[in-house]
Chains A and B, each alone.
Chain A
Amino acid sequence: MLPSLTSFLGQGMQMVLVLVLAPGIAGLTRIVKARLMRRRGPPLLQPYHDLHKLIRKEAIIAESASWLFRVAPYLIFAFSWVAAALVPTFATGLMFSWTGDVIVIIALLGSARFFQTLAGMDVGTAFGGIGSSREVMIATLAEPAMLLVVLNLALAAGSSRLPAIADHFVAQPLAIRISLALALMSLVIVALAENARIPVDNPATHLELTMVHEAMVLEYSGRHLAMIEAASQLKLVMYISLIVCLFLPFGIATVNDGFLAWIAGFAIFAGKLSLTAILLGVWEVSIAKMRVFRVSEFLSVAFIFAFLAIMLSFLTQEVLR
């Protein structure tokens, strides 16, 4: 087959794959949490049913809403989907990977957040405003840390393109690298904050004063809400596959290896994804949510770790030269 055709096919499969897997991963985390609290919990397929129900339902829009309110869910979904398409999941060398590196992914997520916060403030309710302002506070603290982590890995691998970084680390011999460990912790903290997971925000909360993400989407219903839910599930999968691709890249196929390698890549990726989802569930039940004013300290830890990682790898480079 033509190499461009295989990479096109691989890209298409990846985009469908993340879209199909995303609600399942959210469902898996929910089940793990429920079981650890000795509840039965919703079935694994519940998020799919929820999305289906929401799409069929009527979308109610507040009278004061502008066109932005109606457009934002689709934009947010599109940004998140493209970002998820850029992260190599089961194979490297996919078609889109030549068009964007990690910085593009961060920018895409930033744009999605921009529209989300605008839409949160659009209707003019107090909770939307609170949610938006908190979201922006979290983002201003999380984004520098994320950029530093990316910079650190890009310096080590000599490229900021994700497939190149993954290939670089697969080729490396196994060694103890504290700078990578620190970068991993930093990225995990950023991912928890960005996905509105527990120490920063509670995804299952019903108390408006503690909401961040939920407060912004409070006014949405019907298909709009479905788009936003799907986008946030996609974002979670994107972050997990970003962490997996950067720090656990073993078993990833290259796109020209043929379909058997693709299937092996699928299986390994699904395994890694569900393991991470289970770990996330365990983490979420074992820790309490922070006060909003502690969040800045929590995220500054991510920044400190990322910066320390860069300085330590610089030290190694200087000393061993």
Chain B
Amino acid sequence: MNSAYDVSHFLAGLMLVASFALLYQDRILAVLRTFAVQAIILALAVAWEAWVQDRPHLFITAGLAFGLKGFVIPMALHRMIFRLGIHREVEQVVGVGLTMLFGLGLVALSLSLTLKATTGAPSLAREGLAIALAIILLGLLMMITRRNAVTQIIGFMSIENGLILGATGARGMPLVVEISVAFSVLIALFVFAVFVFRIRERFDTVDVAALESVRGDRQ
């Protein structure tokens, strides 16, 4: 039983490290690759939970995470990055060190919060929830600190990774909900893509700082 915990702890910890790598990276293709790696680790973690807790429907979730978020979404974003011509771009991330320190604070916050709130729950669920909350907060932090619309999309997707991790550690969502979440993320990707190309058409850049100076009534 202890090795069951060890492996799931290991995979969840790796996902957390991947979240920090997302905060650290400033090359856009490297960010994308890190995101794909995180999704694949998520798939492994979910598959491990399915095997350990003997809940076969989680294998479908794992498969969805592996196929959609490990390959389909990164490939779509990859094409998008090349179409936008920003694949060589090095993003100006202000204060990587400070951001990561802030991220550490968020991890500490989510650990202490979740551990206090879930006393008495089974250990795998507590563990999953604590790390999931940390990943969600780190994804939010990434969306705040980035100025490029595409990396903000990746931040959003990594939030969803955290959600799935939390859901599998706990009692679990019904399968219908999980599948619909997975596909709604896919839909969200299309919406984002259309939106990003519109921004690009309008302002000749995907830097969201350009949006700040927009006045709706002019022009």
Contact = CB atoms under 8 A, between A and B. Distances in A.
B97 A300 contact: yes
B13 interface: yes
Contacts of A296: 97
A311 B9 contact: no
A270 B108 CA distance: 41
Secondary structure call for the B interface: helix
Interface stretch (B32-40, B67-75, B122-130, B200-208): B122-130
Nearest to B97: A300
A300 B127 contact: no
Given A182-B17, A304-B20, A319-B126, A311 B108 contact: yes
B6 A176 contact: yes
A318 interface: yes
Contact of B24 (A301, A307, A311, A318): A301
Contact of B127 (A175, A301, A304, A319): A319
A40 interface: no
B20 A178 contact: no
A182 B107 CA distance: 15
Interface in B58-99: 96-97
Nearest to B116: A318
Interface residues of A, number: 22
B4 to A, nearest CB: 11
Nearest to B107: A311
Contact of A312 (B5, B7, B13, B101): B13
B133 to A, nearest CB: 12
B17 to A, nearest CB: 7
Nearest to A173: B2
A73 B127 CA distance: 51
24 contacts: A176-B10, A177-B6, A179-B13, A297-B96, A301-B24, A301-B100, A304-B20, A304-B103, A304-B104, A308-B13, A308-B16, A308-B20, A308-B104, A311-B107, A311-B108, A311-B111, A312-B16, A315-B111, A315-B130, A316-B5, A319-B115, A319-B123, A319-B130, A320-B123
Closest 3 CB pairs of A and B: A178-B13, A300-B97, A319-B123
Given A312-B16, A315-B111, 18 more contacts: A175-B2, A176-B10, A178-B9, A178-B13, A304-B20, A304-B101, A308-B13, A308-B16, A308-B107, A311-B111, A312-B13, A315-B127, A316-B5, A316-B9, A319-B5, A319-B126, A319-B127, A320-B123
Interface of B: 2-3, 5-7, 9-10, 13-14, 16-17, 20, 24, 96-97, 100-101, 103-104, 107-108, 111, 115, 123, 126-127, 130-131
